[in-house]
Amino acid sequence: MEVTFTSSLDAGQRQELLTLFEISFGKALRNDSMLTSMEAVCMVTHPDQGLCGAALLEKTACGIYLSKFAVAPAMRGDGIAKLMWEHLCESYPAFFWRAHRENPFSAWYMRRSEDWCEQGEWCVFWHGLTQDEAEVATEYAVHRPIDFVS
């Protein structure tokens, strides 16, 4: 498997990424607006399967936001999430993200975050943030619009 970071996508990569997100989350995206504030995307490709994992990072006023973290359902359990996580932490010393309280992957996130908090329907996690930065990031995350159609 190959891990790459990019800050720009061609039309084919863009569509492949959006398709991966929809398949991985099992929901349709409302739109592709998260790509307009893209800082970078970490992509994992398999020689036979193509794009099998991606982590989308967005630049926000309060820091780097891990907007999407997705692994193709057929490839789960193959270490792709761990591989992406290691590359994210090496490349970005500080970032934050959220997951719905009902998200079955929240326990995985809890083990990898430096800290987290629950607020409303969301769990907000962070890596490399000070407590003050985490408070600002939490406010941003809980008020951010939902990217998927319910």
Q: How do residues 90-139 score in pLDDT, each as one tens digit?
A: 999 999 999 999 898 899 999 999 999 999 999 999 999 999 999 999 99
Q: What is the DSSP letter of 86?
A: H
Q: Mind spelling out the 3-state secondary structure of 92-125?
A: CCCEEEEEECCCCCHHHHHHHCCEEEEECCEEEE
Based on DSSP, count helices (H) and strands (E) in the chain, helices before strands. 4, 7
Residue 70's pLDDT is 96
The mean pLDDT of 58-87, rounded to a whole number, is 94
Total-model pTM: 0.93
Q: What pairs with residue 97 in β-bridges?
A: 125
Q: Which of 71, 128, 140, 78 is nearest to 105 (CA)?
A: 71
- 60: exposed, middle or buried (Cβ count in 10 Å: 0-12, 13-18, 19+): middle
Tokens of 84: 């992406």
Q: Within 10 A of 113 (CB to CB), how many other CB atoms are there?
A: 18
* pLDDT (average), residues 7-31: 95
Model confidence band, residue 49 (pLDDT cutoffs 50, 70, 90): confident
The answer to whether the CB of 34 falls within 8 A of the CB of 58 is: yes
pLDDT at 116: 96
Q: Which helix (H) or strand (E) holds 12?
A: helix 11-25
